[in-house]
Structure 1
Amino acid sequence: RSATMPKGVFNNKRRKKKPYGVRIGRPKEYFATVAEAVAALEAYRAGKLKKRETDRAALAVKRARDLAIYGRSSATEREVALALVARWEATIPGSAALVLNDGTKADVLLRLSEEDAWLPVQLKTTGGAKKGEPNTWYFHNVTGYSGMCVVCWRCDVGDAWVYNGNALNERGKLDLSVTPLRKNCELALARDLNLDALVQWLSEQAQAQAQAQAQAQAQ
């Protein structure tokens, strides 16, 4: 870029008719004058800013709606996430764990060491069995978590069922009702896991993931 060119504009001297270019897409766009190039660049930046503001506004609306509908559930899920992360790090020396913010696909990331990839985990919680159905627990919005474990935690009992996110997607239903020894219970990868058992089970998944990645890299 020439020292006299505005920031973001460059002069391609090999082009005769439209030598002034800006990188606002693929392929690059070229214009006959510097003013045209600057105007296009400013319009592009304004569009990006507007989209960012629109996305933020949409996320704020979603968070407000979720808080109104699932406020207590979201708070409970975060409490369980914090407890899981604390137990993971206390149980596995050298490990790491993160509780993610709203808007991310996973609620928790776990890994055994700095060399290993993160294991994503989605958490769903319920405070207790549904009224009138004392042996059935309901979990909401369990789809959309391909490639990760979905932990369904019963706060009243203090244990979890763990599902494959892909299997829940294939099931095709947004919500999940679980009754011990019934169909949806049998769909779980693991059942009746207290916090210590859940950490142990997830650590085995993390180990399997690390081994699979090592084998793939060796090929």
Structure 2
Amino acid sequence: MARAKDQEKRQLILTTAKALFARQGFHNTSVSQLVNQLAIPVGSIYTYFPSKEEILQAIIEEGWQDLKTALDQELTQAASLEAQLEILVSSVLPRLFQDTDLISIILSEGLEISRLDEKIDSLITLVLNLRKEAGLMELSSADPALTRIRTAIIIYFLGLMNAARLCTRTPLGISQADLLSFIRDLIHRELALS
């Protein structure tokens, strides 16, 4: 008889696996280590996830989707471009930066699974929409400025995620508040808001 699925147990598996994958690495973490950490039978894990790779994929996709859903909901409630930017810097990015386990997994283990290109494309679309709302000229697909913006988003996004991860794990002397202040200044300069 098939076991009933329990959402709390599924979430516990994901939370525990995320911590192990971030600390030890995906390839260095075995299912038996996960089972030992959880103190559940191995069959319980396979009730929820057919493979360790699917656990990794669920961690990345569900973590990203939670962030994107929050971003979309909060941005639609903002009355102005400045309010949208403030939501991005004061609410959404801090949420991402606090999940250093997710960041570590995406940057080190999950690049082939994370569909990072799609996630970055959604950020590019967001930035282009913010530029449009700021009254800046729309860019055609052949415009070299679009390539510059895409390159900047990739470098800033990956760099900021790595900086957020390193700030919590090493004594670099900068805080999450410093990162967010840098982002706020960068956004204002790029969109010519100040």
Which one scores higher on RCO, CA 8 angstroms, separation ≥ 6?
2
**TM-score class normalised by the smaller sequence:** under 0.3
Higher normalized helix content (fraction of residues): 2
TM-score (norm 1): 0.26
- Judging by fraction of residues, say which structure has more strand: 1
Normalising by structure 2, report the TM-score: 0.28
Q: Which structure: larger Rg? A: 1
